[in-house]
Structure 1
Amino acid sequence: MTDYDGPTRQFIDAGIRFLVSNPRHVLARGLRSEDIAHDANASQATFFRKFNTKADFIDAVVTELTNVERVSAEDVEYAIDTTMQAHENSLRPAVLAIVNRWFAGLTDDTSTATDQLARVFGNDYAIKTDYARRDRLALTAFEALFRTTDAALRRPFTSRTFAMTVNALLDGFRSRSGVDPDAVSADTVASAILALIGSAVDTSGSHEHLDDMLEPIEGPILTPMPRDPRAAIIEAARTELGKRGYFMTRLDDIADDASVPRAALKKLFPTKLHILVAALQAKVDALRESVADDLLIGLDDVTIIDNFLLRCAQLAANESAFMDALLVAVAHDTYGEPEGMMSVKQKLNIPAIIGPVIQRGQDNGTLALIGTPADLAAGITNTLLMRCFTRRNLSPEENAEFVGDLLLRGLKQPQ
C-alpha cells in the first residue's frame, strides 16, 4: 500500500468509497472534487493542495485500487499447515476450514466491487501483476496441502494452468456472490475446490492424464467394430501416443478409442511395438526404395545422404506421434524384452538404409574413415531425428539442411 499522509489517504479512500457506493452517480455526474471533499470531511481547498489537478487525484485512486494490501504467501502457507495439522491431514475438513477462514473476505461486497473497479480502471500491467501474485498464492496453497504426499498434476494441467483455474473458480464465486449471495456458501466453494483437486491432482504416483478421470463417467459406448480394425487401431494409437506419450499409452485405451474389443486388438497387436511397426513399416520401406532409386540413377554419395536426411525429416514431421514413440522405444532397448515382444530396432532399422551408401563412400574415398558404416549411419540418423524432435518449429527442410551441413560438410570454414 502506498505511503500517503493522513489527509491524502482520506481523499483517496473517499474516492474509492464513492466509486463503490455511487456508481450510477459517477456515471451521471462524474467523480467530482466537491463530492470527494464532502465525503472526506474536508474542503476543496485542501483537496487541491494535495492534488494539483483532478487528473492527479484519479491517478492516485486507480493506483490504489490495484495496490490494496493483500495476504502474503507466508500467511497462506502457515494457515494451511496449521489447519492440515489440526485436521490430521484429512483433506475435505481441512479445505472446508480454510475456505471458512477466508470466506468473508472472498464474498465481501466492498472488496468485490473494489477488485472489479481495479479491472475496469487499472492498467494492464498492474492487473497482470495482481493475477501473477494470486497464482503464486494458489500454488503455495497447493504445495502446502500436499506437502506430505507425492502429488502431481494430471496432464494437461501445469502449475500455471492449475493456479489460473483455481483463481478463475474463486473469481466466479465472488462475482456471483455480489448479486446472489444466497447462492454462494462456504461449503459450495469448498466442494468446488475439492472437485477440482480430485480431478487435477494425482497422488497415486502413476502420472495419469486428466482423460483417465473421465472414463468412469463416460461409460462404454457401444459401436460396431470398424470394417478395417487394423487401420482403426493405428489411427487411435496415433491419437493416444500424441496425447500421452509412449510409456503412458495403454493398449486398452487404444482399443476403446478404435471401437475394437480389447481381446481382438491384442490378437492383432500383442504390444505397442507391434503397432509402431505396423504404422511405420510402409513408410520405412518407401524410404529404403527411395535410397535404392538414388543409387540406381547414379547420384553421388553426399547427395543421396542429403536426400535421405530430408526424407527422414519429412517422415518425422508427418508421423510425429509414431516417430516420437519410436525414439523412446529404441532408447529403451527392446532387445531385452521377454518372449512375445519384438525388437523395433530390427524391424524399423532406418540407419541400415543408408549404411551401404556410407560404405560405398568410404570405399571410393568420398567419405572419411572415422567409423564403421553402421556406426556412422546410426549417428547421422539419430542426430537428424533428435533435431526434428527438439526443433519442431522448424521445417523438415531446415532440419535436414542443418544436420547435413553439420555432419557432411562440418564446422570447418571452407578454404
Structure 2
Amino acid sequence: MNEQYLTISQLTKYVKRKFDNDPYMERVFLTGEISNFNRNRKNSHQYFSLKDEQAKISAVMFYGDFKKLKFQPEEGMSVLVIGRVSVYERTGSYQIYIEHMEPDGIGALYQAYEESKKRLSAEGVFDQSRKQSLPRFPKRIGVITSRSGAVIRDIITTVNRRFPSVQLVLFPTLVQGEKAAGSIAENIQAADAKNNLDILIVARGGGSFEDLWPFNEEVVVRAIEAANTPVISSVGHETDTTLSDLTADVRAATPTAAAELAVPVLSDELIKIEQQEHRLFRSYKNQISALKERLERIERSYIFRQPQRLYEGYSQNVDQLQQQLIQVMKEKILLLNQDSNLLTQRLKALDPTQSIELYKRNVEQLEKQLLRAQKQIVQQSDKQLTYYIQSLEHLSPLKILGRGYSYVRKDNQVIKTTKSLSVSDKISVQMSEGSFTAEITDIEKEN
C-alpha cells in the first residue's frame, strides 16, 4: 500500500523534469518590476524577484550574465528579461533563470540595436579584414565631436602633450538628439573628402543608451565603413559598445585613449631614434672592424706574397691538356688516313672504264637487234597492207558493178526492195561506167 505514496524529493524531481522538458519553458520573455534586489552583491550571483500587480516569481541571475549588463538594476525598476523557467529542488519553488535583462522603455532600441548588429555583421561590415591600420606619425587629425565639452579638450590636451607637431582639425558635430546621426555622417564624409587628413576621431562622452543611439544609426555606420581615412571611434564609456565602435578601424575606451592611439609620445620617439642611431653606429663600427680584420687577413695571404702560385696549377693543367690534345689529334689523323686508304682501294675496285666499255658493246648489239626488228616489222606490215588492199579490191562495189551488176537510187536513197517503188517514179540506175535515169512503168513482184 505504501508503494502508492511518493516522497517529496520524488515529486519535486518529477515536477522539475516536467518544467525542463517543456519547450515553452526553455526561453521565456517576461516584463516586470524588480523586487528584493540587494545592491551589495555586485560580484556574485543575484537573487531577487520579479512582480506585477497580481503575481511574483523568484529570479536568479548568475554572475557571468549579470556582469554583462550595461546598466545598474534598482529596486522597483521595470525591466525586460529573457530566461528559462525551472524548479529549485531544495525548496520546491519554481523560478526564472535570467540570461538577459534590460530596462523597460528602451527595449525597442535594444531590439533594433541587435537586429542592425546581426544584419551588418552578416554583411561583413565588422570584419577585421576590412579595417585599416593607423599611420604611425600622422600630420593632421580630424576630430568629429561637439565644439563644447570635455571630449575635445581631452583630445587637444593629450595630443599637445604627446605629439605637439600634429595639427587638429575640429568638425563641430551634433552628438545627441534627432539630428545628430545626420550631422555625424555628414562630417565624416566631409572630413574624408578633404584627402589631407591622416586619421579621423569620432568621439563623444558617456550617456544613457538613448543618448548614444545616434552612433548606432546605419547612416553613421555606412559613413565610417565608406571612409578611406582610418577612423578611431570613442563613444561613451568603456562598457558602452555602439555599432560605430564595431565598424571603426580602431576602438578606444575614452577620448583620451583615442588621442593616445592616434599619436605616439614625441619624447619616446626621440629616445627611440637616438637608440636606433647608437645601434646603427655600433653596427657600422662592428662591420668596419670586421671588414678591416678581413682585409688584413687577406693581405697576409700567400696570394699577395707569391702571386705566381695563383696560376701554377693552371699552367700545369694547360700543359697536360696540350699533351692530351696532341695525342688525340694524332690518333684522329691516323684513323682518317686509314679511312682514306680504304676508300681509295674501294674506288679503284669500282673503276667505271671497264663498265663503260661493256655497256657500249651492249648498246651496239641492242642497236643492231633493234634495226633488224624494225626491218622485219616493216616487211610484215607491207605484206599485211598488200593483203588488205587485195581483200578490199575483191570486196569493192566497183568490181561487182564491173561484172554486170548495178544499183537503183530514188531521191538519192538506195532502193533495196520493190516495196519502195511505185509506177511513174523516177529512178537513177548506177552502172560501172556511168548512170542513167528511168521511169517505172510496171512493177512485178516475185512470190
TM-score range, shorter chain: under 0.3
Scaled by the length of structure 1, what TM-score is found? 0.22
The higher relative CO (CA closer than 8 Å, separation ≥ 6) is in 1
More helix by share: 1
In the superposition, the TM-score normalised over structure 2's length comes to: 0.20
